[in-house]
Chains A and B, each alone.
Chain A
């Protein structure tokens, strides 16, 4: 019987290949996800391994909480600590280092990092801490000297002896390139720029006088890093985090790669899961059709004395063979998919360092294999069961039909129930309070249920939908249009499942389009409503601040009415989670920002914001049970505590979440009091264009800041969101492609099934072109049914999810243009899918087709 199963697969190569592709793509995405997340992790592991190779013990400020962003600005240590460390017995050497954000200015032009990677400035460490390799010149040893990482020098044609600028919190500093180095053995770390200065310069330029970001310690011979760490822990205050070099390397690798992968892995796996789900529909449909076509065969096997179990095994055997082969191919293709992802990430601005490809048995091989095989088996189980129900007497009759099971009349109810349960689950996942993973899985499970439910219901929708969609075709296409419409409704179940596969892809596209559009509209709407400035200024590198000096430089411009910086940072609230502390200038802010005041809040009150007084966002007040007059404790990332008094509330969940305090108070909560955003408002009588030019001129010493009008700011935000959307579209395109193969498969099998009928149509005068048209229309009708169902379920799911985010100010806004485009994509998929089966039908030899048995 196994031989029979394998033979059957081999003799239907095309069908087998099309079925297998459905699983190949899904498993490839899954395998590729594991490959690339492993590459990311290994790359950071290499980077930090190199960084810490010569460090025995590493000292830094102990963070009061994990902010989860991975790039904790934990704040510096006092430089006096270095001398204290040197006194501890067993310490051979101890050196401080400054780490900051800044980049070069070459010929008046600011040098950006590629792909959103950081612009690092570090002070030079002596050996053995310094693990870099000089390729030219020497390391900086005097004021105004810098050394560059090799890739940076190559990219911008920089050489030793050249004079360039370096952006600092004190404006651009004139520096001379004295050396070029490789990081360990490599020319670059991701797309990051690295500039090395002297310790003293870095302290001066980056507001770190008398401080050190970190201290690296070398042990005396014979003293192990662990031993030395113990001694330093004993000698130093608790606020200092003491790690061996190995521990620090591991922690930083974990922190950075986890912060990236904790987002990428589930997101990519979700898209792979969508592809696998679509594949499951395609497999289910293909097996259903072939089982129906092979009823005679199964009946004959039963007359020869085959048990139901044997029939079941032979069909599942075919599925197993397809599943195994497809999963293996998928694994191999996964490496290619990982490469593609790397290219995609770079294209949309995530320039991540990637190590060499390594494939691990767990989870990289086992999970995609298991999912591929199990999904194939599960999807073919129902058709296989149906094969066992073929009565042996069907071998003796033509046109035997399967007995209806007790389940068939229940289908619409079960389907409705599944859909309802799915939507409830999504709602629970969105509004629930459990761990994020559980909630995401609940949402995913709910989405799958509602997709399956809608697929089951859709067989009842096929007839009316085909009638409406096919109507214009009928007007134009004459007989072809009518035949096509009738063909799609001939076996509504088959059309429904074929359409359902496409429905999932289109549904997810619409879901994300609507959701992200809602997010975009909320953000842009908030800016329009609240921001009354003319300019919105940020650092080019959005994780870096705007120098405080730049705020003054902007406000000194003639024609500028007001300029104010807004700073924000994460703080711990009470004993619970973290939220955002905003540092504002109470006197200036109301002129540039319009608040929606709630309980007690007002512009007058804002003017009084000082000391421990705070104004809080409505949602923040709600989750911490605050009202005007109540107090709460906050802890800064470097462990300073402050008790704040609420004096009023405002509503602005999108732009001003958390709470706000005066800039003076903010300094006690932040390790860096430079603002992240600078708003500038022009005087009513000022010439806007001229003032913009003047602001730009005055900010020339700060080329790392990006001066944008509100319109430009909104445009660049929209551009970033759209890039994210394009990435999603590309990932979802896989699902659409799989469903396209599903349509090809269904049509090809239908053509095969109707061979005799097609022969008859040709014999009575149907032209090849008419026949092709019939298949084409049939395909397009099916695809549009899938597209419409997808749009409906996508919008419904997005609406349900948006309910959960309503309190965060995210609105529900349908991007009609994108919805229409997705319907057009569905129609195009239908046209593409029809090409091959239509050609096949048109090429049938009339005589042979008529004799076909």
Chain B
């Protein structure tokens, strides 16, 4: 069964002459456990799509459901609870709280939800992302890659239905990007974690099970996982059209 299902989603910004059609009718289904990448040049609508799939923005028309719940009609409170229990986020700029240690940042979602952390699970998670010896450091004392590991653990800690990753390597150098992508891929495999990643980095998209190519507000190709080279070729082919 599809964890995420979008049907004929459109999103229009502005009105009259200044209107922009960011999404022009996108339908997709992401099955459980799948790691999907959304690729596209800037302005293609990929960020808008992610915002709408994650319930951060509402579509102009169409429906989005997560785990069978239509999220486009939920009120703020229900959306908040949905984010709390069903969605994890990984950001380009990490977005860690500078005042909390790595471990405290990881536990933050549980604290917000007033859930008692499962010590064993948290321990395993910290080991999984490779932060064992850095758990008591503040973000300012961590490298970019380490900060993103914290962010990955934070997204996983509440075992969400789906994780949305927004350009997770966008703020990292290529070596670190590689490490982070490995961590992410391994975590997805180990925990069967449904993940949607928005990126314009072909190397990042190459670790996904499936690559959705977006252009001008439409899905122009829905391809299975492939190498970075193939992805670049597809991108070139699309932009040439």
Of the candidates B47, B80, B99, B166, the one whose C-beta lies within 8 Å of that of A302 is B80
B56–A391 contact, CB under 8 A? yes
With CB as the reference atom, state the residue of chain A lying closest to B89.
A303
A304–B84 contact, CB under 8 A? yes
B56–A393 contact, CB under 8 A? yes
With CB as the reference atom, state the residue of chain A lying closest to B158.
A305
Of the candidates B92, B95, B113, the one whose C-beta lies within 8 Å of that of A305 is B113
Chain A nearest CB from B94 CB (Å) reads 9
With CB as the reference atom, state the residue of chain A lying closest to B95.
A300
What CA separation (Å) do A360 and B85 show in the bound complex? Answer: 51
A307–B80 contact, CB under 8 A? yes
B173 within 8 A of A: no
A306–B112 contact, CB under 8 A? yes
With CB as the reference atom, state the residue of chain B lying closest to A303.
B89
Mark B47-71 against chain A: 1 for CB-CB distance below 8 A, else 0.
Answer: 1000100001100000000000000
Which residues of A have CB within 8 Å of B99?
4, 7-8, 10-11
With CB as the reference atom, state the residue of chain B lying closest to A398.
B93
A396–B51 contact, CB under 8 A? yes
Q: A7-B99, A303-B89, A307-B77 are in contact. Are A396 and B166 (CB under 8 A)?
A: yes
B188 within 8 A of A: no
What CA separation (Å) do A393 and B166 show in the bound complex? Answer: 11
What CA separation (Å) do A391 and B60 show in the bound complex? Answer: 18
What CA separation (Å) do A455 and B99 show in the bound complex? Answer: 34
A414 within 8 A of B: no
A301 within 8 A of B: yes
Q: A391-B56, A853-B93 are in contact. Are A308 and B98 (CB under 8 A)?
A: no
B172 within 8 A of A: no
Sorting the interface of chain B by its residue count into under 10, 10 to 19, 20 to 34 or 35 or more gives 20 to 34
Which residues of A have CB within 8 Å of B56?
303, 391-393, 396
A173 within 8 A of B: no
Chain B nearest CB from A62 CB (Å) reads 71
With CB as the reference atom, state the residue of chain B lying closest to A306.
B112
B84–A305 contact, CB under 8 A? yes
With CB as the reference atom, state the residue of chain A lying closest to B88.
A304
Chain A nearest CB from B186 CB (Å) reads 23
B83 within 8 A of A: yes
A760 within 8 A of B: no
What CA separation (Å) do A72 and B29 show in the bound complex? Answer: 94
A1 within 8 A of B: yes
Most buried by B among A7, A297, A303, A393: A303
Chain B nearest CB from A305 CB (Å) reads 2
A308–B109 contact, CB under 8 A? no
B111 within 8 A of A: yes
A304–B109 contact, CB under 8 A? yes
Which residues of A have CB within 8 Å of B158?
305
B97 within 8 A of A: yes
Which residues 361-399 of A sit at the B interface, judged by CB distance below 8 A?
391-393, 395-396
Which residues of A have CB within 8 Å of B83?
302-305, 392
Of the candidates A3, A11, A296, the one whose C-beta lies within 8 Å of that of B95 is A296
With CB as the reference atom, state the residue of chain B lying closest to A305.
B84
Chain A nearest CB from B176 CB (Å) reads 16
Which residues of B have CB within 8 Å of A395?
89, 91, 95
Chain B nearest CB from A392 CB (Å) reads 5
What CA separation (Å) do A305 and B161 show in the bound complex? Answer: 14
A698 within 8 A of B: no
B74 within 8 A of A: no
Which residues of A have CB within 8 Å of B57?
393
B111–A1 contact, CB under 8 A? yes
Which residues of B have CB within 8 Å of A392?
56, 83
A396–B47 contact, CB under 8 A? yes
A310 within 8 A of B: yes
Mark A1-31 against chain B: 1 for CB-CB distance below 8 A, else 0.
Answer: 1011001101100000000000000000000
Mark A729-740 against chain B: 1 for CB-CB distance below 8 A, else 0.
Answer: 000000000000
What CA separation (Å) do A706 and B215 show in the bound complex? Answer: 98
B81 within 8 A of A: yes
Total inter-chain residue pairs, C-beta < 8 Å:
72
Which residues of B have CB within 8 Å of A396?
47, 51, 56, 91-92, 166
Which residues of B have CB within 8 Å of A304?
83-84, 89, 108-109, 112, 154
What CA separation (Å) do A300 and B92 show in the bound complex? Answer: 12
What CA separation (Å) do A28 and B104 show in the bound complex? Answer: 37
Of the candidates A11, A296, A305, A391, the one whose C-beta lies within 8 Å of that of B112 is A305
What CA separation (Å) do A352 and B108 show in the bound complex? Answer: 59
Chain B nearest CB from A312 CB (Å) reads 13
What CA separation (Å) do A300 and B109 show in the bound complex? Answer: 10
Which residues of A have CB within 8 Å of B93?
296, 853
Chain A nearest CB from B194 CB (Å) reads 17
Q: A4-B99, A11-B99, A307-B77 are in contact. Are A393 and B51 (CB under 8 A)?
A: yes
B80–A11 contact, CB under 8 A? no
What CA separation (Å) do A297 and B108 show in the bound complex? Answer: 12
Chain B nearest CB from A851 CB (Å) reads 12
B85–A305 contact, CB under 8 A? yes
What CA separation (Å) do A296 and B95 show in the bound complex? Answer: 8
What CA separation (Å) do A391 and B57 show in the bound complex? Answer: 9
With CB as the reference atom, state the residue of chain B lying closest to A2.
B111
Chain A nearest CB from B87 CB (Å) reads 8
Of the candidates B76, B81, B95, B104, the one whose C-beta lies within 8 Å of that of A308 is B76
B20 within 8 A of A: no
Chain B nearest CB from A299 CB (Å) reads 8
Chain B nearest CB from A563 CB (Å) reads 80
What CA separation (Å) do A442 and B99 show in the bound complex? Answer: 46
What CA separation (Å) do A832 and B47 show in the bound complex? Answer: 48
Chain B nearest CB from A430 CB (Å) reads 49
A305–B80 contact, CB under 8 A? yes
Which residues of A have CB within 8 Å of B98?
11
Chain A nearest CB from B117 CB (Å) reads 14
B100 within 8 A of A: yes
What CA separation (Å) do A34 and B18 show in the bound complex? Answer: 64
What CA separation (Å) do A300 and B93 show in the bound complex? Answer: 11
Mark B114-145 against chain A: 1 for CB-CB distance below 8 A, else 0.
Answer: 00000000000000000000000000000000
Which residues of B have CB within 8 Å of A306?
80, 84, 112
With CB as the reference atom, state the residue of chain B lying closest to A391.
B56
Which residues of A have CB within 8 Å of B104?
3
Which residues of A have CB within 8 Å of B154?
304
A4–B100 contact, CB under 8 A? yes
Chain B nearest CB from A403 CB (Å) reads 13
What CA separation (Å) do A296 and B98 show in the bound complex? Answer: 12
With CB as the reference atom, state the residue of chain B lying closest to A308.
B76
Mark A625-649 against chain B: 1 for CB-CB distance below 8 A, else 0.
Answer: 0000000000000000000000000
Which residues of B have CB within 8 Å of A308?
76, 80
Which residues of A have CB within 8 Å of B109?
304-305
Chain B nearest CB from A577 CB (Å) reads 62
A4–B97 contact, CB under 8 A? yes
Q: A7-B100, A392-B56 are in contact. Are A305 and B91 (CB under 8 A)?
A: no
Which residues of B have CB within 8 Å of A3?
104, 111
A301–B91 contact, CB under 8 A? no
B112–A297 contact, CB under 8 A? no
B89–A301 contact, CB under 8 A? no
Chain B nearest CB from A845 CB (Å) reads 15
What CA separation (Å) do A615 and B124 show in the bound complex? Answer: 100
Which residues of A have CB within 8 Å of B76?
308
What CA separation (Å) do A296 and B56 show in the bound complex? Answer: 14
A-B pairs with beta carbons under 8 Å apart, 18 shown = A1-B111, A1-B112, A4-B97, A8-B99, A300-B89, A300-B97, A305-B80, A305-B87, A305-B109, A306-B80, A306-B112, A308-B76, A310-B112, A393-B56, A393-B57, A396-B91, A396-B92, A396-B166
Residue numbers of B with Cβ under 8 A of A are 47, 51, 56-57, 76-77, 80-81, 83-85, 87, 89, 91-93, 95, 97-100, 104, 108-109, 111-113, 154, 158, 166
- Further 9 A-B residue pairs, CB within 8 A, beyond A303-B56, A304-B83, A304-B109: A300-B91, A300-B97, A305-B85, A310-B112, A391-B56, A393-B57, A395-B95, A396-B91, A853-B93
List the 5 shortest-distance A-B pairs measured between CB atoms, nearest first.
Answer: A305-B84, A393-B56, A7-B99, A300-B95, A305-B83
